Amino acid sequence: MFGTSYEIGRVFGVPIKLDISLIVLALWLWFLAGNLIEGLMAGMILMLSVALHELGHTYASLKFGYRVKDITLMLIGGRASLLDMPREPWKEFVVAASGPLISGVLWLGGRQLAQALAPVSPILWDVFYWLARINKVLFLFNLLPAFPMDGGRLLRAGLAQRIGRLRATFIASRIGRVLAVLMGLYGLFNGRW
């Protein structure tokens, strides 16, 4: 995002880069949490959750034979840079859905584990509480039908089956613009998330 990203590892042979802007978001979570340990834990869970979400897209892409240049984790989320884009709508649907699917599993699994571990260990409850909370936001936000986000790609893939890729892209991008304006107005007049 700001042009400062550092490779932190490789998975499936794909470089994973951490943009310095994600550290800003992790620090904001630290502030939100109210204490140092919980805030650091929430920040690390955020980075891990975004990475796993993007690895979902990457894994599906690689299974279809598409090349992935890298994964970048940044303030606005993550991005798996595909060198080959799926042309068949059903493949685009699978690739787009795989990230939110991972986030959904982490959300529901984290919620179940937090409930089960609450009486046993407050520390483990905290870990799984933050895992569920962060992935719930990732899951729901990514399913907004705002192209080029995952939800917009799912919408385009569904529309492309019926009306063709070009027209579907036009419609999905227009819906994305409307949602962006509505979210901006909501933020402006509501003053909070």
Give catalytic residues, as residue numbers.
54
Within 10 angstroms of residue 127's Cβ, the number of other Cβ atoms is 19
Residues 89, 161: contact at Cβ < 8 Å? yes
Place of tokens 């919408």: 155
The angle formed by the CA atoms of residues 47, 49 and 54, to the nearest 5 degrees, is 95
